[in-house]
Each structure stands twice: as C-alpha cells, then as structure tokens.
Amino acid sequence: MNSLNITAADVVASASFVLAAFALLATGLAVTAAVWATYQARRHEAEIARIELSYRLLLAASGGGDARLPNNNTHYSSGPVQLMAIAALQSFPEFEPVYEQLLDARKTESENDPTAYPKAYYAATQRLVEEVARIKKRRRYRRPG
C-alpha cells in the first residue's frame, strides 16, 4: 500500500509539473503574440502617418487649391509653402513617378507664365526629381514598411 501511495504521489507530482510547464509555455506564447500584434499595429500606424504626411506635402507642392493653412491666413497654394513642400518631398522617394508628372506640369506652366513663381516651382521640382533619382541610386532605395 505504501508503494502505491508513493507511486501515486510521483504521478501527481509529474503531472502537475507537466501542466505547470504547459501553462508557462502557453502564457509565454500569448505574451509573445500580444507583443507582436502591438508592434505590427504601431508599425502600421507609423506607415499611415507617413502616407498622410506625404499626401499633405504633395497637395501643398502642387498648389493645394484654396485650402487654408492652420494659421488661417495663408493658403497651401502660396509660393513659399509650395517651395517648402517640394523640398520636403525628398523624404518620400517612393513617389518618383508622381514627381515626374508634377515636373511636366510645372514645365508647361513655366513656359506659359513668365512670372517668377512658376519658374521657381519648375526649378525646385526639377531639383527634387534629380535628388530622388540620386537617392534611389545611391541607397538602392527600398520602400518603407
């Protein structure tokens, strides 16, 4: 009888150890999955913020219509804002085809309007396209995300 009790106690101890190990493993996997999901969600949020920023800069670089800036006095279409936005777009080399289309539009605009800003927009956009080409060539650019 004594040996039966010892054997039963050993089986229960072994089973509880296996169950505890399984519970720890399951907990570890659950924590890992939660951390991975949080990381992925933050990465996607950052990519969405990047896309939104690039859209706003493209809107400003192209003239943006009559949308007002946050100061509520000037428009996105003002000359200094467009020039700043064109320069800032170097941080988004993945949109090179859009910049090339903008360059074509700026070229036509500068040929038809001899005032200073269309020529400045064209020159700035041309520098943007050239710089993006250099960036992509130098770094073997890989799209973020």
75-124 pLDDT, tens per residue? 667 788 888 899 999 999 989 999 999 999 888 888 888 777 788 888 99
Question: For residue 51, is it within any domain?
Answer: yes
Q: 53 in a domain, yes or no? A: yes
Q: Does 145 map to a domain?
A: no
Q: Is residue 144 part of a domain?
A: no
Please check whether residue 12 lies inside any domain of the structure.
Answer: yes
Its domain, for residue 39, covers 2-139
H or E element at residue 63: none
Write down the H helix ranges in the chain: 2-61, 79-88, 96-112, 116-139
Q: Considering the entire predicted model, what is its pTM?
A: 0.68
Cβ neighbours around 109 below 10 Å, total: 15
**Under 8 Å between Cβ of 87 and 124:** yes
Residue 79: inside a domain: yes
Q: Is residue 55 part of a domain?
A: yes
Domain count, the chain: 1
